Amino acid sequence: MRRPLVFVIHITAVTIILLGLGSCVSNPDSSGLEYMPDMYRTPSIEPYVDYGEIRGRENMKYKMALSALTPPSHTVPYYGGKKDSVDISFMLPYIRKANISFRETHGLYGFDFSLADEYALAAKDINPLVLTNKNSSEMLMKGKELYTAMCQHCHGEKGDGNGPMVLSGAYVGVPAYADRSSLSDGQIFYSIYYGKGMMGAHNSLVSKKEIWTLVHYVRQFQNPDYGKFDESGNPKTKAISDSSATKTK
């Protein structure tokens, strides 16, 4: 009789201790007990994980430092796949440099700078993505997707500068695209890439190809016929992106 009773008492005690331990993880920043921590956390670096301590070893270099880092400057993205000259141009660095003042106004430390008025020079740049009768609808659909995610909250669904951020009163001073029809494609690209005025640089958010797609899309706000083709396949509008169309104000 004595032995089973002892066994029962032991099991009970172990259970209570285990349950107690399980509920005693009071640190709210800890996600609780893990079965096998060495299978959960490995030394291979992943973004947003604190690598200050790995398997009991403390590494002060990584303690309180982010593991998600920006690539070194002058890193060239490689997209792979089939490549033509247009694809390669997207992998190469952007030919226009930021104005030297952009370091202080837009925080672009670590970029290449120029003393020339690169924004004016960018007016000459031509959109490498050519809208044709075939790719137009697909390109503009992709543009709409990007615009909804990246621009719409300030610039508004219709491009009138009345996005939800402006309507809620949080942000002011977003111009309408229709008021800026004198801008060339290259200048729109430059503004998205390095920012302009209150708008910040968006080169970390959208790739060069995506920016050029967006340039096509926002042209529709200035001209509803932009990107539409008649039955014979000719564009309904002459492209606005003439290099002669504008100079900076």
Pick the stretch among 37-45, 87-95, 124-132, 233-241 that binds another protein (CB under 8 A). Answer: 37-45
From CA 45, how far away is CA 118, in angstroms rounded? 39
Query: Which is nearer to another protein, 80 or 231 (by Cβ)?
Result: 80
Closest distance between another protein and the C-beta of residue 6, in Å?
Answer: 12
From CA 216, how far away is CA 178, in angstroms rounded? 14
Q: Is residue 171 classed as helix, strand or coil in its secondary structure?
A: coil
Query: Which is nearer to another protein, 50 or 112 (by Cβ)?
Result: 50
Single out the residue of 3, 44, 55, 57 in contact with another protein (rule: CB under 8 A): 44
From CA 26, how far away is CA 242, in angstroms rounded? 65
Binding mask 69-108 for another protein (x = CB under 8 A): -x------------------------------x-xxxxx-
The tally of CA atoms less than 13 A away on the side-chain side of residue 81 is 9
Single out the residue of 75, 85, 204, 234 in contact with another protein (rule: CB under 8 A): 204
From CA 200, how far away is CA 181, in angstroms rounded? 21
Applying the rule CB under 8 A, the residues between 119 and 158 that interact with another protein are 148-150, 152-154
Q: Where are the alpha helices (DSSP H) in 24-135?
A: 37-40, 85-91, 102-106, 118-121
Q: Where are the beta strands (DSSP E) in the chain?
A: 53-54, 57-58, 98-99, 113-114
Pick the stretch among 39-47, 129-137, 211-219, 230-238 that binds another protein (CB under 8 A). Answer: 39-47
Single out the residue of 6, 31, 57, 85 in contact with another protein (rule: CB under 8 A): 31
Q: Where are the alpha helices (DSSP H) in 168-244?
A: 185-194, 208-222
Interaction of residue 18 with another protein, rule CB under 8 A: yes
| Strand partners of residue 235 | 229
Q: How many residues bind another protein (CB under 8 A)?
A: 69
Interaction of residue 200 with another protein, rule CB under 8 A: yes
From CA 196, how far away is CA 29, in angstroms rounded? 40
Per CB under 8 A, residues contacting another protein are 1, 8, 11-12, 15, 18-19, 22-23, 26, 28-35, 39-42, 44, 46-50, 64-66, 68, 70, 101, 103-107, 109, 148-150, 152-154, 163-165, 168-175, 179, 195, 197-202, 204-206, 249
